[in-house]
Amino acid sequence: MATLVEAPNGVKPKGKHYYSMWQTIFEIDTKYVPIKPIGRGSYGVVCSSINRETNEKVAIKKINNVFENRVDALRTLRELKLLRHVRHENVIALKDVMMPTQITSFKDVYLVYELMDTDLHQIIKSPQPLSNDHCKYFIFQLLRGLRYLHSANILHRDLKPGNLLVNANCDLKICDFGLARTSRGNEQFMTEYVVTRWYRAPELLLCCDNYGTSIDVWSVGCIFAEILGRKPIFPGTECLNQLKLIINVLGSQQEADLQFIDNPESSKVYQVTSIL
């Protein structure tokens, strides 16, 4: 549970109060009253909270020492920039960004999101039965949210069950935009290694840096299969093994279908993998 504590330096800034959860100190605006911690990751801790002004339940994510790691800082900035402009019922809403007391010397960032109950990964691995209607409704919402993002030229680039939040009404929302990018089409060159491996499209496994919205659609297909089978369809141990698992299920492709591979060495790798 959340425990109210004194300010670490003994001086309480105006408009802030301090809570301890999971050995982590939260410095948050007084309009928010934390309830309990609900998640932890490499970034920090997430807690549920109530906005006393609106009586709305929210989730507060504390990102620790955000400027220590350049990659983490860029991911946080990217998510902030994108979520400021997107509004859709199947995309997680960023409700608030708490202003630090010291603009020039703050280390932690506090983001406030709408509160959801769980994620699709937890549902899939649970013993709870899923009907065909459940499966269809989850995928419908995922595709609807993805269509909105792609219409805004946004590639999510890390779709997986753990990044799909769900509430008790089976409403689904896409979250975690730290790897997302804006794109004007399939001709823009971007970094290669994105998407958690099990949900990574073949063009990414083959080190193509010229890709588009199809990489997100591939991830949706993997998620759909995982919902139906209650386990990942392509649980590769490394990139070559991942490619082999895909070929075992879908079969090898004709040379004409491999024109998207812009790296000659990657083309050779595919040919060898397909006959192993």
Q: Which residues are annotated as a binding site?
A: 62
**HEC-encoded secondary structure of the chain:** CCEEECCCCCCCCCCEEEEEECCEEEEEECCEEEEEEEEEECCEEEEEEEECCCCEEEEEEEECCCCCCHHHHHHHHHHHHHHCCCCCCCECCEEEECCCCCCCCCCCEEEEEECCCEEHHHHHHCCCCCCHHHHHHHHHHHHHHHHHHHHCCEECCCCCHHHEEECCCCCEEECCCCCCEECCCCCCECCCCCCCHHHCCHHHHCCCCECCCHHHHHHHHHHHHHHHHCCCCCCCCCHHHHHHHHHHHHCCCCHHHHCCCCCHHHHHHHHHHHHC
Q: Which residue has the tokens 């759909």?
A: 224
Residue 117 falls in the annotated catalytic set: no
**Active-site hit among 158, 176, 209, 216:** 158
- Listed in sequence order, the residues at least 6 apart from 148 whose beta carbon sits closer than 8 Å to its beta carbon are 86, 88, 90, 91
d(CA 97, CA 77) in angstroms, rounded, equals: 12
Residue type (1 letter), 139? I
Q: What are phi and psi of 2, to 5 degrees?
A: -85, 135
Q: Could you list the residues known to form a binding site for ATP, using ranges.
A: 62
Q: How far apart, in Å, are the Cα atoms of 144 and each of 62, 89, 90?
A: 29, 9, 7
So which residues are the catalytic ones?
158
